[in-house]
């Protein structure tokens, strides 16, 4: 399979799966988000949010392609760009961290290591940009695809709980905790993502 992780832009925003393409759960505060849904403008609001973050902060997501078919995505940004995060009981996200907002891999492509590769890709991007950590709100009672990521999955890819909660714990992945961790990430990404750029086909992860 040929795998690519491409920065999210306005050009490939259309490749996000529905309902994620028109979801503004994280991008707007609860009141504004509800108003956008009632007005029938959530897709426009999503596009405006992506545009603003790209202009003011830079890359805020990746789209995953397998054999040129979009099969998943990940979104991340500083908490100042994520109004909904303030509504969570375990907020706020630490000032030295970027928030892993949400991510999704389509059924049929799950269990192939793509989720871990997405987190590693975000980690590498943020390390290069000088950030210390990624934080995320987890869903401890996750039962299916939703805007909030399953806490168990976050723990499985290296996150640690920094503020427990029965429903929505806040978790953190330290990016500079040890030099060896960084080197491990760099080596793994060189193998995984570097090979994607050079070879059209890869063995499953």
Which segments of the chain have a pLDDT < 70? 1, 176-205
Strands (E) in 140-196, as ranges, are 149-150, 160-163, 170-174
The SS3 of residue 21 is: helix
pTM for the model: 0.84
pLDDT digits (tens, 9 = 90+) for 41-63: 999 999 999 999 999 999 999 99
Predicted local confidence at residue 134, as pLDDT: 94
Q: What is the pLDDT of residue 175?
A: 87
- DSSP letter (8 states) at residue 86: G
E strand residue ranges, 47-159: 61-66, 69-77, 97-105, 133-139, 149-150
What is the pLDDT, as a whole number, of residue 198? Answer: 41
Token output for 50: 């992506």
Shortest CA distance to 45 belongs to which of 62, 22, 29? 22
11, two tokens: 């050009």
Contact 49, 24 (CB under 8 A): yes
Token reading at 152: 């168990």
pLDDT at position 115, please? 84
Q: What angle do CA 94, 167, 131 make, to 5 degrees?
A: 20
């Amino acid at each position: 399979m040929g795998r690519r992780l491409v920065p999210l832009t306005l050009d490939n925003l259309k490749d996000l799966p529905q309902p994620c393409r028109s979801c503004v759960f994280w991008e707007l505060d609860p009141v504004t988000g509800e108003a956008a849904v009632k007005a029938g403008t959530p897709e426009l609001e999503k596009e405006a949010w992506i545009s603003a973050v790209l202009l003011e902060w830079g890359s805020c997501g990746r789209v995953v392609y397998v054999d040129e078919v979009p099969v998943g995505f990940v979104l991340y940004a500083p908490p100042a760009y994520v109004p909904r995060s303030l509504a969570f009981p375990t907020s706020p996200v630490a000032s030295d961290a970027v928030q892993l907002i949400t991510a999704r891999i389509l059924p049929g492509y799950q269990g192939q290591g793509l989720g871990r590769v997405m987190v590693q890709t975000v980690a590498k991007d943020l390390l290069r940009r000088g950030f210390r950590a990624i934080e995320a709100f987890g869903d401890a009672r996750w039962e299916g695809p939703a805007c909030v990521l399953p806490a168990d999955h976050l723990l499985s890819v290296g996150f640690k709980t920094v503020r427990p909660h029965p429903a929505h714990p806040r978790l953190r992945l330290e990016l500079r905790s040890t030099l060896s961790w960084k080197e491990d990430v760099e080596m793994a990404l060189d193998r995984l993502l570097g090979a994607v750029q050079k070879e059209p086909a890869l063995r499953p992860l």
